[in-house]
Structure 1
Amino acid sequence: MKKALSLFMMMLLLLGVLAACGPDAKEGTGGNTEGAGGESAEGLPEKPEKLIVWEDKDKSKWLEKVAKDFEEENGIKIEFKEVEMATKARDQLRLDGPAGTGPDVVTLPHDQIGQVAVEGLIAEISVEDDVKSKFTESSILSQTYDGKLYGLPKSTETPVLIYNKAIVDEVPATMEELYEKSKELTSGNQYGFLALFDNFYFAHSVIGGMGGYVFNEQDGVLDAQDLGLNNEGAVKGAEYIQKWYTEGLFPKGIIGENGGSALDGLFNEGKVGFVMNGPWAFGPYKDAGIDIGVAPLPKFENGEPMKTFMGVKGWHVSSYSKNQEWATKFVEFITNEENSKYRYENTFEIPPVTALIDDPAIADNQEAKAVAEQSAVAVPMPNIPEMGEVWKPMADNLQNIVTGKAEPKAAMDSAVKAIQQNIDANHSK
């Protein structure tokens, strides 16, 4: 009796095995993309039902299509919301991340990366080299902190040369030619070229172009103890800046906190041929009735570019996300060439994707092309926390230079001394 029962049970087990191998057998809870152990065929963890994405304020419309495309391709729903990027996203992530109500993917300006990485708010990401190679080298550097990659870039902005077509119809080939043209045009309350050179954000174009640097960079790591703001090139740049003021080519009213509004006011009144400003100024200048032209900033006579500071907005993966691999996959998806172009067409923010610089969507738009070309030679603002110690000493000493209160070498030495003291006091390990 026991033998017969044993044979019966063996038959049932065999039928079960055969049924499991039949054509109607299910391959797992995730459908055809799922493999053994809850992993997908791509080696990724089991798919989440959704990913939460934070995009910048008034910039999310484009995500409707791209999110749907990702869902159709991967079976993961994308839920997105707008959170103002520059001042609110970081603070909100500090609260919502630990609470489990934060995003999987968040957008941030690159100069916040060092701080949020140190705080443990965003995760290091791993992507193939062919993914990184799609972007300009400087934009990838902007997403790197302490030699580790913390995001992929979505857009870039940097100052360019903007001119009034009613006053000038040709862009000088070099800064030296622009200087001569400015002397020719400057008379009374009319000016040839204006820039906020007492503001380090703009002054870096000259200082960096002549060989100065903020922090030395080696293999994606910035050395906060290696300051290059009083080296020979930096002092030469400060001397170059000073002459625009001492020779009366810049009015005294564009110095200090109100300098930006004074510069814009003069340009909007049709009193300036050329200004150095960023893409944020295009709309207001047009609204003021100025027929503007836009070009990359002229190079120096020796062929070196004006090394403007570049701001890069990027996509990052929250360290609190339980789906970091899939979040990284989504970041790769939305920054590919096709989707970067689609975002540009909807937001007019320039993607630092090398293949798009010559795409008609950008190449045929003078403003976008100028920003893209200038960005290719621009320097990302340092994204380490120590950069916060640089701005005030540089502003104070640049203003001393342009007002004649200090000579360039002494002022740059003073700035570096103050920066170093602040770093030692506030960032000692």
Structure 2
Amino acid sequence: MTLTRSARRRLVPVSLVLVGLALAACASPAGRTSEQAGPRGFTEAEQVAGSPITVWVDASRVTAVDAFTAANPDVKVQVETYDGSANGSDSFKTKISLLDRAGSGWPDVVFSTQNNDAAWASVGAGGQQPFAAVLNKGLVKDDLLSGFTKGSLDPCTVDGAVYCLRNDLAQDVLWYDRSLMDQFGYKLPTTWEEYTELGERVAREHPGYITGAAGDPFTPEIFFWPSKCGASGVVGPRAMTVNTTSPQCQRAAQLVDRGVQGGWMTDLSVFSPEFVQKYTGKVLMMPGPAWFAGAIFNNEASLNVPAGRIGAAAPLPWAGEEPATGNVGGGTWFVSSHSKNLDAATRFVDFVTTADDYQVAKAPGYPAYAPAADKWIAGQERSGYYATDLSALTVAAPQVWSGWGAPAFSQEAVWARTMQPLITSRQPLEQALGTWGQAIVDQAKVNGYTVQ
């Protein structure tokens, strides 16, 4: 997540429709061969019963493989670790592109930390068959698919075909330090407007304490996505709508501007040593994803907040509107359309996304599969760490706004280049919303989109 400088530009309205190179009313995009294939939506390789499957995972998901092999000793699994495309490295796509050119060597199952991989893995480049197998045409049972949290499979779905299964969700909630709130005599805000008012009050009455963070490239997913800002409206395999100057985007920009310039929102990355040094014991509130609990608060290498202090509140609505929230991450599992043992590969992704042996007992994040999520929440509450129950996570999971899609490029990278330098230099985001929108359009062109 490298940040570069960007000049301020005056607000220029951007409302553009990006139409894919070959989006047609009744045909799939060029290069997608699934429509020409068998009943499962792709041309299957000759199956070899009992053959080993190769699984690519990041280091954190090796425990998922271990859990599967313990429960399924009849399946031979060969594990290869890679970075999981972490931080937008695009390594998954790069490695598969090389194998496409070679015409062999594809893994049977791949885990990715990104939610935008279905956008490219569902399309065959250069006449190649798409890497991702279609899962909802016979490979994965409908009753299992229906068990995933509402909306959680949206990033995996292209033209009605499901190309991956979500491992975990990263829905935003309002994390807060209940001990500090009680000490200062503050009540939890119930709207974004109240959140802003409380932040400004904190800056006056308790300078040095913060109620939010805007120093990471996922800042728009915490503040702009829940505001229903139309920066990433994916409406087709290669079609988007982009409108970064709407009132919904403007109010989110104003909130962040007021927070950073007023001192009640930090411009430091939550993963930086400076953040830990400056704000340990001084985070009053922080809107953010489910994984903030373990990565930021209950982490000896970060804020290391003692047990019994951190609570979770449901996502904040804007006054007069229904609550909506954003999502920062959450992994995905793919089955390869080239697999010679689809039965074992499908058994693997079924298990690691739904089985209690992994998702409840070992998974670090909130499961996308709803029955496992309920049990995972219960286990987290039994730990005794939290000051409240974690029902806010369950409430937030289906409230992720569907209008923010996952295109074939990293929105976080665009934000990092275009907007993050403005935050660091205390320049107003509101005046650069048009610049941000144009940067999204430009990145779309690089990834094969046309602009009308």
Summarize the Cα distance change of 1:322–1:231 in structure 2 as closer, same or farther, 3 Å threshold: same
Summarize the Cα distance change of 1:258–1:155 in structure 2 as closer, same or farther, 3 Å threshold: closer
Give the conservation status (yes or no) of the 8 Å contact 1:206–1:306.
no
Deviation, structure 1 residue 259: 8.9
Structure 1: segments with no counterpart, 5+ residues:
1-43
SS at the partner of 1:346? coil
Deviation, structure 1 residue 90: 4.8
In the alignment, does 2:368 pair up with 1:347?
no
Aligned to 1:112: 117
Summarize the Cα distance change of 1:49–1:399 in structure 2 as closer, same or farther, 3 Å threshold: closer
Name which one, 1 or 2, has greater alpha-carbon Rg.
Answer: 1
Aligned to 1:272: 283
Aligned to 1:241: 256
Q: Distance in 1 between matches of 2:191 and 2:395?
A: 16
Query: Which one of the candidate residues 391, 396, 400 is aligned to 1:374?
Result: 396
Q: Distance in 2 between matches of 1:289 and 1:394?
A: 27
Q: Distance in 2 between matches of 1:390 and 1:230?
A: 18
What CA deviation, in whole Å up to 9, does each residue of 1:209-239 have, x standing for no partner? 3331223344xx3664411322232223222
Q: Distance in 2 between matches of 1:345 and 1:243?
A: 42
Give the conservation status (yes or no) of the 8 Å contact 2:169–2:330.
yes
Give the conservation status (yes or no) of the 8 Å contact 2:297–2:304.
no
Q: Distance in 2 between matches of 1:407 and 1:348?
A: 34
What CA deviation, in whole Å up to 9, does each residue of 1:20-60 have, x standing for no partner? xxxxxxxxxxxxxxxxxxxxxxxx96623332323321432
Query: Which one of the candidate residues 152, 156, 161 is aligned to 1:143?
Result: 156
Size of the alignment, in residue pairs? Answer: 372
Give the conservation status (yes or no) of the 8 Å contact 1:104–1:321.
yes
> Which residue identity lines up with residue 396 of structure 1 in the other structure?
T
> Which residue identity lines up with residue 411 of structure 1 in the other structure?
A
Q: Which has the higher contact order (CA 8 A, sep 6+)?
A: 2
Q: Distance in 1 between matches of 2:218 and 2:298?
A: 21
> Which residue identity lines up with residue 206 of structure 1 in the other structure?
F
Query: Which one of the candidate residues 30, 48, 62 is aligned to 1:60?
Result: 62
Give the conservation status (yes or no) of the 8 Å contact 1:185–1:191.
yes
Deviation, structure 1 residue 390: 6.8
Summarize the Cα distance change of 1:171–1:265 in structure 2 as closer, same or farther, 3 Å threshold: farther
Deviation, structure 1 residue 374: 3.3
Query: Which one of the candidate residues 295, 301, 304 is aligned to 2:312?
Result: 295
Summarize the Cα distance change of 1:352–1:92 in structure 2 as closer, same or farther, 3 Å threshold: same
> Which residue identity lines up with residue 55 of structure 1 in the other structure?
V
What CA deviation, in whole Å up to 9, does each residue of 1:395-420 have, x standing for no partner? 53465478664572x42123223322
Deviation, structure 1 residue 363: 5.6
Aligned to 1:77: 76
Aligned to 2:17: none
In the alignment, does 2:49 pair up with 1:47?
yes
SS at the partner of 1:384? coil
Summarize the Cα distance change of 1:142–1:248 in structure 2 as closer, same or farther, 3 Å threshold: same
Q: Distance in 2 between matches of 1:103 and 1:416?
A: 37
Q: Distance in 2 between matches of 1:211 and 1:285?
A: 35
Aligned to 1:321: 339
Aligned to 2:351: 333
The range that moved more, 83-92 or 109-118, is: 83-92
> Which residue identity lines up with residue 266 of structure 1 in the other structure?
K
Deviation, structure 1 residue 316: 0.8
* Identical pairs, percent: 18
SS at the partner of 2:147? coil
Q: Distance in 2 between matches of 1:53 and 1:407?
A: 42
Give the conservation status (yes or no) of the 8 Å contact 1:390–1:419.
no
SS at the partner of 1:176? helix
Give the conservation status (yes or no) of the 8 Å contact 2:177–2:285.
yes
Deviation, structure 1 residue 134: 0.7
Q: Distance in 1 between matches of 2:407 and 2:368?
A: 21
In the alignment, does 2:181 pair up with 1:177?
no
Computed over aligned residues only, the root mean square deviation of the Cα atoms, in angstroms, reads: 3.6
Q: Distance in 2 between matches of 1:168 and 1:90?
A: 45
Aligned to 1:39: none
Structure 2: segments with no counterpart, 5+ residues:
1-45
Q: Distance in 1 between matches of 2:244 and 2:256?
A: 14
Give the conservation status (yes or no) of the 8 Å contact 1:242–1:402.
no
Summarize the Cα distance change of 1:163–1:415 in structure 2 as closer, same or farther, 3 Å threshold: same
Give the alignment of 1:386-405 within 5 angstroms.
387-388=409-410, 391-392=413-414, 396-397=418-419, 400=422, 405=427
Deviation, structure 1 residue 296: 4.0
Q: Distance in 1 between matches of 2:65 and 2:95?
A: 21
Aligned to 2:135: 125
Aligned to 1:228: 243
SS at the partner of 1:335? helix
Q: Distance in 1 between matches of 2:247 and 2:82?
A: 43
Give the conservation status (yes or no) of the 8 Å contact 1:310–1:375.
no
Q: Distance in 2 between matches of 1:389 and 1:167?
A: 34
Q: Distance in 1 between matches of 2:381 and 2:206?
A: 38
Deviation, structure 1 residue 242: 2.3
Aligned to 1:164: 177
**TM-score scaled to structure 1, two decimals?**
0.72
Deviation, structure 1 residue 143: 1.6
**TM-score scaled to structure 2, two decimals?**
0.69
SS at the partner of 1:226? strand
> Which residue identity lines up with residue 383 of structure 1 in the other structure?
A
Q: Distance in 2 between matches of 1:53 and 1:156?
A: 21
